[in-house]
Each structure stands twice: as structure tokens, then as C-alpha cells.
Amino acid sequence: MIDFLQQLNDVQRQAVQTTEGPVMVLAGAGSGKTRVITYRIAYLIGEENVAPHQILALTFTNKAANEMRQRVDELLHSGSSRGLWIGTFHSIFARLLRNYIHLIGYDGNFSIYDSDDSKSLIRQVMKELNIPVDAVPVNTVQGIISKAKNSFILPDQFHAQASDYNGQKAAQIYEVYVRKLRENNALDFDDLLIKPLELFQAQPAVLEQLQHYFRYILIDEYQDTNKAQYLVAKSLAAKHRNIFVVGDDAQSIYSWRGADITNILNFQDDYPEASVFKLVENYRSTQTILQAANGVIKRNRRQIEKELVSRQSSGEPLTLLESFNEKREAEKVGEYIRTWKLTKGFDYKDFAVFYRTNAQSRVLEDIFRMDRIPYRIFGSVSFYKRKEIKDAVAYLRFIRNDQDTESLLRIINFPPRKIGEVSIGKLRDYALTNNSSLYEAILKAEEADFPARLRNALQGFIAVIEQLKDIAKEGSVYDVLSALYESTGITSLLQAENTPESMARYENLQELLSMARDFSDHNEGTNGLNDFLNGISLATDYEEVQEDDNYVSLMTVHAAKGLEFPVVFITGLEERLFPLNYYESDELEEERRLFYVAVTRAQQKVFLSWAKSRYYYGQPQTCMKSMFIDEVDSSILITESGKKQSNGSVSEKKQSIERCNGRTPVPSSVSKSGGNSSSDERSSGLKSGTRVHHAMFGPGIVLSVQGTGERQKAKIKFRNVGEKTLMVQYANLTFEQ
């Protein structure tokens, strides 16, 4: 037996040595997942004498692939990984396609289009089809096509399934887009996943050859695979059935990227003879932290049961921080960081602060700058450096100072007004000739010999600027920013785009509006706009990392996956924020998995934090603490004073959900019995025609109600976003008065 196997625990060793047949390793957080994969590869090569080229190892990042290859070489004390097929799904499939894609009509020297190339081609297709980009945003189309490809839905099938307006337009674009890619001998990133499937269907002999070649297939992070990745892996493994997958269903948090949790949940259905190993020994966290995580995740219905056990001591209880508002919450986090650094010997780098949405970083950044706590934003950029924030702030700067040419150039075509570089060049020449500022040249556009189209676009821009100037004379910063969003439609455009990226930008702009409202509420009678912008300028000049690499890490929970820190703060634990607005049980379960990931990043201590009020979309709102806090075992949860936390039941908490805006809460339906539509309606008081309000979607009218009890759903037509089907129990609707 190879000596390095002694470095594994019993379950890890068994998984490594079970080399024949399908194997699933359920690797809980901090249980040594990567070690099992690399040791198995080394064992196959060093002990079973498997040729490296017969091993295919698929990962999701180049970093993971490189680390695995390096570890294999270290274990075998040689360059034994030479010939090993190890890399990301995209890189490995691209390599295969270079050799075989000529068999399905492409040249092996195909181009690979990145996201920008793809968008450019989509715009070209939309122009040919006379579909205006303001009717269906390019990013929306790209997202719809990408989702279809990842689910291996080709144009004909997608066209048959398209129901709404966006889907029908996207179906037309999808068909032509695919044809254009082929004409250009190009593939986009999603094609790298689906073209192998097309190849296998068209050329069974190639599939048989590859099945024979790859005797052993290993897949990392199997819970994150999409349908296309699943189908390719299943096809390649069909001959030898030596497929080895490692993952954790409890850490499946990327459904919005196309990840399909059923791939790991149904592994034993695909391979009834599979050996299953559960890695539950956690080498990272204390037993108390794991007890909290175990207690919450067990409430999910769709899961493979397991319970993590720590190799460490029980450790400290979790601490619950309760604050009046989000500013006080950030202050408390900063206070605990400074105190623990001074009294317990921690460095700044030992602390991480997690939040559910990127927009939440703003108040934390403001407080940390004020308190001189060095920090770094992971997975994003500092709030004030985000493009949409810089664009909105540029408007504010320009209405204060219309000589500011840099701000003018930033906003003149935002949102798009078809004022391109050629038009700007003409304006510059006119300004130079008439010895005026660029904005003065714009104001005199009617006198100049500019094309009518440009004059009309400039008049629209002038109308916006002058309106905002008038509001700024008497109104608050909040009034100005609200008018900016309304007159330019920038927030509506982002909502219409409806992609994860656009909604993140939308949330950031709403956070800026909340900041403006907070500022306006507390700075009456001051030179509001100047002071507001001065504060932003100082914040923008702040250097995030000030003390070498010793800084607090700020990030969303999604960005935290795969990382670990001695002390973790999970902030914004409020209903509708974390869990984020969820409408179906599957979405709620993913939110719970996200909370599980957050808790299990901590090695020694977890702080759970929530605020009783928070600015949402520029308005102060009463908040209710997250159900996830109540799901933590109360015996291991203490308050700031050190007392045990007494948690109320989720049902009790739901009864007091709405105490703001003067609206009446829609009762949570609790009946478990079935019934006809009238009983469905009586269980919650909802019926067709009822006018309701939702925190994010705004006012709406109920179209229909289905089911009773916990499974009751309501189909609602919202004024701003169209039709949505929501789970009544979790939607937190209120009756409109």
C-alpha cells in the first residue's frame, strides 16, 4: 500500500481505494474533498498502474485543476501527471472539440467567443430581425440563450416552449444566432458544453472511442453541474462506469447559473450499484458551529442526510447581534472586530463579514472607513467604484457644476441616447470654435448645423439636466436622485433586463437612493448636494487595503464558498433579505443552503446579525429577523450580554410580519387539507381580484389562487413587473387599503 494513504481517515481511504464502478463521495464542508480526489488519482497511477491519459478529471476552476496536478506530482515524487486529462469542463471539452469538431461541420481552428463577442453578435442578429434592443435587452437575450444551452435545449425545442414576449423574441434570435456562429466558425462558452453532445449524437463511433480511452472519470463539485455537463459526463462514463463524483448537496447554491441539484440527488438512480461515502469529519470548525449548521440544513426536504462532526473542541456559542438599523449594525461589527483584535489576539485578516447582496457592502464600507478598519471587497469592487454608482453620481456632480466635462462625457449617453463619438466630436469642435463649455455647446445645438437626430437627442438630455437642476434648488438629495431614476429610466431598464447582473446593479442604485434618503433625513437645512458629494468623493479616494495584507474581508456569501476564516459575521439576517425574497420551496431551500455555507466558513466563532429597520429603495422599513436565526439551536446561541437566546417559532414570527406602511398582512395559510378553489381562497383570505402589495414588486392584483396550507400559491399581476406566481406562506404580501 502506498504510504500516503496513511494520511487519510478511514472513510477517505475507502473512497480512494474503491476504484471500480460508480462512486459518490458526499464531502461535507471542511471534510477534505480535494484531498480525496488528488489521492485517488495518485492511487490509480501509483498503485493500480493506470496510464495517466486514461484518467479524466473535471473541475470548475483552473486553480483547482492546477492544484490537483501539483499535489499528484508531490505524492508520487515525479512528473507522473504528464498525460493526465485534468482541467475545467470548458477547457477539456474545447480540447476534445479541436480534434473532432470537423465531423459536425466546423473547422478545428474555430474561434471561441467571450461574453462581449456574443453580445455583439446578438445585437447584429437583432438588427437583422428588426427587434429593437429597448424592447428586449441584449443581456436578457444572452441570458435566456445561455440558460437554454446549459439545459441542452436547442433552437427548435426552445421555440416550441417559448410562451412570453421575451421568450418568443429570444427564440427567433437564438435560431439566427446559432446559424451566425456556424457561419463564423465560432463557438461561445456554452457551445463548449453542448457541441460534444451534438458530436456524440452525430458520431457514435467517436463517443465509443472516447469511452474506451477514458477509463476513469472524476468530477469535482458535482452539485454545481448543469444538465449539459451531466449529460456529457454520463455519456463518457457509460462503457466502464468508473465515474467518481465528489460534492455536497448542502452547498448547492448556484441554480441561477444553471446548476442542477438533482444531478447529485439522483446519482444513485443513475447508478444503482454506486458506492456512496459520506465525509462528515470536519477539520475546520468547532462542534458548536457545526451543530448550528446541521440544525438548520436538516430542515431542507431535498437533501441527502448527513451530519458533520468536528475534529476540534465544542468551542464558543454563536452570538446574536440585534441592532436598531443597518448603520448601527455596521458599527457593532466594527466594534467587535476592534475589541477582539485588542483582547483576543486576532489580526484584521482573521475576520470576514458576509452579506446576501452586494449592495449591503455600502454601509459597512462607510463605517469601516470612519473607524479606520482596513478592508477589502472580494468578488466585487468597492461600492462607490461600481459603474452604475459612478454613473448616477456623475449626474449629481454635473447638475451642481455644468462645467464638469468629465462628468458630462460619462452621462451624455447613459442611458443610451445614440450620441456616439462622432457626435461628441462635433460638439467639441463647436464648443472650441465658440469658446464655450461643452454643455453650452449642447444648449446651443438648435443654432448649430447638427443633424436633426442629434438635436433631438440633445434636447432630451437637456430636459433631464435642467429638470434636475430645478429640483436641486429646493429639494433634497433624495428628491434629486428619485427624479433622476424616474426621468432617465435607468432603474426600469435594469429591471427589464432581469439578469442576475442587472438586478445586482439595480440593488446598488437602490442602496444609493437609501443612502440619499438617510442623508436627507438627517441633514436638513445644510447645503445637501455639495455635502453629499463631498462625502462620496472622500469615500472614493479611500484605499481599501491600508495595512499590507492585514485587512477584514467583505463579501457576499456566494463569494465566500471555498474560503475559511477564524471569525465570521453574517449580517442582514432579516426576512426578505436573507433569505432573499423567495417564492417557491426550492428557492427557500437554496437560501438555507447558502446560510449553511456561510456558517461553515467559520473556524472558531460566528456572529449572526440583524437590524430592526433598514432602508429599502429609499424608504425606511421595519424588519423582522430571519427564520434562519430561529432555526439555530437556541442552546448554542447567546445575546451580546451573554444570555441564552430564546427563539420563537417560525409560525409565531410570521404572525407579526408586517408592522409598516399601514398595510394589513395577508395571513399565512396553515390548513393542510385539500379543497376546491373557494376553500383555497378562504385559507389565506386571498381571492381573484384581491389587491395586494409586495415589498419588491409593489402593487398587484390576484389573478388566481391554488392549493392550501404551506403549498398555497397565488398568481398575481404586478403593476411594474408583470405576472408572478408566489408561495403565499413566504411572499409576505399585504392587503392594499
- Concatenating the DSSP letter of every residue in 19-79 gives -SS-EEEEE-TTS-HHHHHHHHHHHHHHTS---GGGEEEEES-HHHHHHHHHHHHHHHTSS
Give the active site residue among 188, 221, 249, 497.
221
CA distance 366 to 484: 24
Question: Does 28 count as an annotated binding residue?
Answer: yes
DSSP H or E segment with residue 556: strand 552-556
Catalytic (active site) residue 621: no
E-state strands within 630-697: 637-639, 664-665, 691-694
Give the active site residue among 188, 190, 191, 220.
220
Question: Does 31 count as an annotated binding residue?
Answer: yes
Other CB atoms within a 10 A radius of the CB of residue 189 amount to: 17
- Concatenating the DSSP letter of every residue in 495-539 gives HHH-SHHHHHHHHHHHHHHHHHHHHHHH-TTS-HHHHHHHHHHHH
Question: Does 33 count as an annotated binding residue?
Answer: yes
Catalytic (active site) residue 713: no
Give the active site residue among 19, 34, 268, 312.
34
Catalytic (active site) residue 601: yes
Catalytic (active site) residue 251: yes
Catalytic (active site) residue 33: yes
One-letter-per-residue 3-state SS of 200-253: HHHCHHHHHHHHHHCCEEEECCHHHCCHHHHHHHHHHCCCCCCEEEEECHHHCC
Single out the residue of 38, 57, 61, 30 nearest to residue 250, CA to CA.
30
At which residue does the C-alpha cell 391554488 appear?
A: 706
Task: Give strand pairing partners of 442.
Answer: none
CA distance 233 to 217: 8
Catalytic (active site) residue 724: no
Look up residue 644 and give its DSSP letter.
B
CA distance 136 to 703: 25
Residue 294 C-alpha from the chain's centroid? 23
CA max distance for the chain = 89
Task: Give strand pairing partners of 724.
Answer: 716
- Concatenating the DSSP letter of every residue in 440-484 gives HHHHTGGGTT--HHHHHHHHHHHHHHHHHHHHHHHS-HHHHHHHH
Task: Give strand pairing partners of 657.
Answer: none
Question: Does 295 count as an annotated binding residue?
Answer: no
Single out the residue of 335, 339, 336, 389 nearest to residue 362, CA to CA.
389
CA distance 688 to 705: 7
User: Which of the residues are catalytic?
Assistant: 33-34, 220-221, 251, 601
Residues belonging to the binding site for ATP are 27-34
Residues belonging to the binding site are 27-34
